Amino acid sequence: MNIPNLEDRRTRLAEALQPNEMIIIFGAPEPTYPRRFKQENNFLYFTGLETPNAAFVGYKTATSFFATLFIERQDPAMVVWEGAKTSPQDATETSGIKNVHYLDQLPTHLNLWMPKVKTCYVNKATGGLGSGLNSEQQFIRTLKDHFPNVMFQSFMPIITPLRACKDAWEIEQLSTAIEATGKGIHRIFTDARPGMHEYQLEALLRFEAMNCGLPHQGFFPIIASGLNAATLHYHANNCPVGENEMVLLDVGADCLGYSADISRTFPVSGTFTPRQREVYQAVLDINKEIISMVKPGVTMTELNKRTVELITAALKKLGLIEKDEEYRKYYMHSVGHHLGMDTHDVGPRDEPLIPGHVITVEPGLYIPEEAIGVRIEDDILVTEEGYINLSVSIPKEVAELEQICIRGDKQ
Ligand code: GLY
Ligand code: MN
Ligand code: MN
C-alpha cells in the first residue's frame, strides 16, 4: 500500500460537515529558491498533492459532497526556472479528485457556491502578532466582506479528529521513519568519540536516514552534549563532545510527510559515571512507567500529572529538591504530544486517547549545575488492547547502551 487512501479521508471529511457547509484549504505557497518547499499538512492530508499555490474546496450540499481542486496555470516563461507545473491530469491522478480548475477561477466558483453556504471552514491561524496578513488571509477577508451572511470558522475542530486518528498507511510511514531514525541513532552510539563535534554526529544521523531512502528530517535534529542538553531545544550542534559527557539526541526522520520523534541520551565514553547512571535510570524508569499506562481512555493530561508525581519523587531521591513545587526547576515540559504529519501533531490533550492515536512519551531531567540533561522519548501507538511502542527496538537500557557504545575501536 504505497499511497494513502485519500478517498476515505475525504469521505470522513464529508461526514463531518453539515449540508450547506464548505471547507477551503490552501496549499503552501512556493518559497523562493533556495528554500525547500514544504506542503501545508491539512492540504496534503486530503489531496496527497505536493503542488505549491493550490487550493482544495469541499462543499456539502443537501445531497452530495463536491471536492474541487484549484491549481496554478503554467507560465511558459517560467518553465526554464521552475520546471513544469502540475497539470490538471496529474493532479487528478495523484489526488483522485476529478474536478480540477485553475486558481484564477476560484473566485468565480466561490461566487457561484457561496450564496447557499451557511458556514465556511477556513484556516484561522495567523502568523502571530505583527506578522501581517498573508495572501490566504487577505483572500478570506475579502470573501468575508463579500458574503457577510456566511459564518467563517476555523477548520481545525473539523480536521483534528480525522488527522489525530492514524490509519494503517500512516502507521507504516511512521514506522519507516522510526526505523531509519533508529539506524542513525545506532550509528551515533557506535561511532561517537570524545572530541567529535555534535554536527559530526548529526552527519551520521542524516547519512543513515538518507541511505534508507528518507532524504529529510522531520525537524532540526537536537544533538546536545553535556551542558547543552539542559537547553530543551538546543540545535546549534556545533560543540565538541567532552570526554565524560552524555549526549542527548532528539531526532526524527521524515517519511512521506510523517515524522519520527525519538530522544536517546548516552555516555560518549561508553560508560555512565555513577551520577549520570543514577539520573539516567530515574528518567528511564519514568519513561517505562508512563508508557505502560497508555491505553484507550487515558488522557495526555493524566499521563503528564503522573509524570510530575514521579519526577518529583525522583528529584527528591536524587537530592535535588526538598519541596514538591520545586520540580519545575528540573522538568519544564509536558510528557508528550500527538505525533504525525506535524512533529507536534494535532490531537486532544484532555479527551481520552483512542485506538489510532500516536503519542510521544518523553520525560526528562535537566540539571545545568551538573552539566546533565537526559530525555528519553518513544513513539507510542494506542491500540484496542493498550499500546504498541513503535520505537521499542531503539536501545535505551543502561547495560545495552554501555555495550553498544563500547563496541568498535573504543574497546
Ligand atoms: N523534538 C521535539 C519534541 O520532542 O517535542
Ligand atoms: Mn523529540
Ligand atoms: Mn517530542
Q: Which three cell numbers stand for residue 144?
A: 468575508
Residue entry with cell 463536491: 66
In a domain, 237, yes or no: yes
The pLDDT assigned to 127 comes to: 59
Asked if residue 187 is part of any domain, the answer here is: yes
Q: Is 170 in the pocket of ligand 1 (CB under 6 A)?
A: no
194/113 same-domain check? no
What pLDDT does residue 197 have?
98
- Listed in sequence order, the residues at least 6 apart from 187 whose beta carbon sits closer than 8 Å to its beta carbon are 204, 205, 207, 208
The grid coordinates of residue 261 equal 520523534
Ligand at shortest distance from the CA of 233: 1
What pLDDT does 76 receive? 87
The answer to whether residues 33 and 172 belong to one domain is no
DSSP 8-state class, residue 240: B
Residues 126, 154, single domain; the answer is yes
Nearest protein Cα to ligand 1, atom 4: 261
Task: Tell me, yes or no, whether 152 and 173 share the same domain.
Answer: no
Q: Which residue has the cell 542538553?
A: 229
Q: How far is CA 395 from the centre of its chain?
A: 22
3-state class (DSSP) for residue 289: helix
> Is residue 1, in this structure, part of any structural domain at all?
no
User: Is residue 173 located within the same domain as residue 155?
Assistant: no
Q: What is the pLDDT of residue 135?
A: 82
Closest ligand 1 atom, residue 233 Cα:
2
Tell me what pLDDT residue 411 has: 47
CATH number, position 204: 3.90.230.10
Residue type, 123: N
Q: Residue 208: CB within 6 Å of ligand 1? A: no
CATH number at residue 68: 3.40.350.10
Element (H, E) at 365: strand 364-367
Residues of the domain holding 113: 6-163
Last residue in a domain, options 113, 135, 163: 163
pLDDT score of 320: 98
Q: Within this chain, do residues 63 and 174 fall inside the same structural domain, yes or no?
A: no
Q: Which three cell numbers stand for residue 245?
A: 559527557
Q: Is residue 192 part of a domain?
A: yes
Q: How far apart are CA 202 and CA 247, in angstroms?
A: 12
298 and 312 co-located in one domain:
yes
What is residue 128's predicted lDDT score, i.e. its pLDDT? 60
Phi then psi for residue 6, to 5 deg, are -65, -35
Mean pLDDT in order along the chain per 10 residues (411 residues): 88 98 95 90 97 96 97 88 89 97 96 97 75 81 94 97 97 98 98 97 98 97 98 96 97 97 97 98 98 98 98 98 98 97 96 98 98 98 98 98 76 47
Question: Which single residue is written with the C-alpha cell 494513502?
Answer: 4
Q: Is 261 in the pocket of ligand 1 (CB under 6 A)?
A: yes
Same domain for 268 and 120: no
pLDDT of residue 75: 85
Task: Clarify whether residues 156 and 202 are in a common domain.
Answer: no
pTM for the whole structure:
0.95
- Number of separate domains in the chain: 2
Residues 74 and 195 placed together within one structural domain of the fold: no
Burial class (CB in 10 A: 0-12, 13-18, 19+), 289: middle
Pair (173, 131) in one structural domain: no
Q: Is 239 inside any structural domain?
A: yes
**Whether 188 and 335 share a structural domain:** yes
Is 191 domain-assigned?
yes
